[in-house]
Amino acid sequence: MVNRSDINYFGAGPAPLPTAVLERASQALLNYQDKGLGLCEISHRSPEANAILADTKQALTTLLDIPDDYEILFLQSGGTGEFSATVYNLVSIWVEKKRAKIAEEVGDNKEEVLKRLRKVVDEELKLDYLVTGSWSLKASQEAARLIGAKHINVAVDARKANDGKFGVIPSEDQWSLTPRSSAGGPAFVYFCDNETVDGIEFPSFPHSLEGDDAPLVCADMSSNFISRKVDVRKYAVIFGGAQKNIGNTGIAIVIMRKSLLPPHSTPASPDLLRELGLSVGPIVLDYPTIAKNNSLYNTLPIFDVWVAGQVMNGLVDLYGTKRIGGQEEISDEKARLIYEALEKHSDVYRVVPDKSVRSRMNICFRVHGGDAEKEKAFLAGAEKKGLVGLKGHRSVGGIRASNYNAVSLDGTKLLVSYIEEYAKTT
């Protein structure tokens, strides 16, 4: 029989969870707070469910020092659903702002307002995407599918600087962001902070977007959420799927400025969007609706929220006043150990991404130049030592060590020892 303690799991997601959280979860599934009902059975509108929501929000707020003027939402869409949600919600806000400005100029002449608005949408609506890996590429493709490719500005396609493959982030002087003007700028700028498939992570917030109030900056942080400090104020919207560092599969978490919600911002009406030929989003992805209903517009999987809360509260208790900075230190150390071992044996291993953008979370490398049989041997040898989940994404192959928060420092050291051992014996 294989025990949980015998395995160190480096899979990219669903990812490992702290054993203590799973042990508490097993009890909560059977009998939550001695109520005779399991956590998956209680009403999502019960006092217990509301307490779980409040507790999880508070844990995340504490870890990331989220300001009061930000809202936290829980949705069932996953990160992929948020590719669509950001488009639906932020384009709608952009359109309404343009409509209101035109209405100020022409008064109550609805036909003239619509005529001018059509022209503005046709000529000025742009969404800027920084395509640095597989997930930001998918996000840009979804945006093009929803509102048309003419409105999508791929401000950077990193493949063009790397022989058709992802692995670098071009310098910012090579980006072609939509020009800012007195009339405004793009509806938003989108980037993926950490590319799970390709092992690429932005080392810091892009300098080009510092202090830029014109765009609404959205960031997919699915695979590096709660692994390092984040200056939340720099973002209009942050989102991430839970199944990497935060919890189990089932929810996405959105952190967004309250200024994007009513009464501060008003989305365009569905009728107007249809008249303009733009998509109307499903209500389960509508941020104002979700916020108004405390994430309970539809039946939220409270168990998934509870697990996320348990994980985050564990970090709050562990690191105290260091908050997420404590976890960042551990994450950095684990990544350093693995990369140093790989670089030490550069005749055997090749790290895929450029050193300047290597992910701390998803460490992608090839064995003997990508020799298929030798990579299979590497994986087989690792599994014998209880080091599992190391196979690279099917689209790129190779080896990928997803070094998420629940992977212990000791587990990382075991992987490093195997990397050293394999290199010396191959």
pLDDT tens digit string along 284-301? 999 999 999 999 999 999
Q: What is the residue type of 313?
A: N
Q: Does a structural domain hold residue 359? A: yes
Let me know whether 270 and 296 are in one domain.
yes
pLDDT tens digit string along 111-127? 999 999 999 999 999 99
Q: Does a structural domain hold residue 265? A: yes
pLDDT confidence bin for 211, thresholds 50/70/90: confident
Let me know whether 87 and 221 are in one domain.
yes
pLDDT tens digit string along 229-240? 999 999 999 999
Candidates 266, 260, 289, 278; CA nearest to 97 is: 266
Let me know whether 139 and 99 are in one domain.
yes
Q: Does a structural domain hold residue 42? A: no
Domain total in the chain: 2
CATH number at residue 59: 3.40.640.10
Tokens for 278?
């733009």
Let me know whether 207 and 336 are in one domain.
no
- DSSP reduced 3-state for 191: strand
Let me know whether 204 and 340 are in one domain.
no
Is the pLDDT confidence value at 20 over 90? yes
Let me know whether 295 and 369 are in one domain.
no
Phi and psi at residue 9, in whole multiples of 5°? -100, 125
8 Å CB contact between 132 and 191: yes
Is the pLDDT confidence value at 48 over 70? yes
Task: Report pLDDT for 108.
Answer: 85
Q: Average model confidence (pLDDT) for the chain?
A: 96
Let me know whether 127 and 98 are in one domain.
yes
Domain-ending residue, one of 305, 340, 373: 305
8 Å CB contact between 415 and 336: no
**Terminus-to-terminus CA distance in the chain, angstroms?**
30
Is the pLDDT confidence value at 184 over 80? no
Is the pLDDT confidence value at 206 over 80? yes
8 Å CB contact between 100 and 361: no
Largest CA distance in the chain: 80
Candidates 426, 424, 423, 372; CA nearest to 399 is: 372
Task: Report pLDDT for 207.
Answer: 93
Q: Does a structural domain hold residue 161? A: yes
pLDDT tens digit string along 242-278? 999 999 999 999 999 999 999 999 999 999 999 999 9
Let me know whether 210 and 331 are in one domain.
no
Beta strand 8-9 pairing with 387-388: parallel
Task: Report pLDDT for 182.
Answer: 66
pLDDT confidence bin for 370, thresholds 50/70/90: very high
- DSSP reduced 3-state for 81: helix
Say what percent of the chain tops pLDDT 70.
99
pLDDT confidence bin for 88, thresholds 50/70/90: very high
Q: Does a structural domain hold residue 352? A: yes
Q: Does a structural domain hold residue 5? A: no
Q: Give the pTM.
A: 0.96
CATH number at residue 401: 3.90.1150.10
Task: Report pLDDT for 135.
Answer: 97
Candidates 19, 2, 8, 4; CA nearest to 412 is: 8
Let me know whether 380 and 292 are in one domain.
no
Is the pLDDT confidence value at 151 over 70? yes
Let me know whether 198 and 345 are in one domain.
no
Is the pLDDT confidence value at 212 over 80? no
Let me know whether 370 and 282 are in one domain.
no
Distance CA 313, CA 319 (A): 10
Say what percent of the chain tops pLDDT 90.
94
Beta strand 200-201 pairing with 194-195: antiparallel
Domain-ending residue, one of 305, 336, 368: 305
Task: Report pLDDT for 180.
Answer: 84
Domain-ending residue, one of 250, 277, 305: 305
Q: Does a structural domain hold residue 147? A: yes
Let me know whether 138 and 247 are in one domain.
yes
pLDDT tens digit string along 56-77? 999 999 999 999 999 999 999 8
pLDDT tens digit string along 306-337? 999 999 999 999 999 999 999 999 999 999 99
Element at 253 (helix H, strand E): strand 252-257
Cis (ω within 30 of 0) for the bond into 14? yes
Residues in contact with 111: Cβ distance below 8 Å, sequence separation at least 6, in sequence order = none
Beta strand 237-241 pairing with 217-220: parallel
Task: Report pLDDT for 130.
Answer: 98
Q: Does a structural domain hold residue 18? A: no
Task: Report pLDDT for 1.
Answer: 84
Is the pLDDT confidence value at 217 over 90? no
Q: Which domain holds residue 299?
A: 54-305
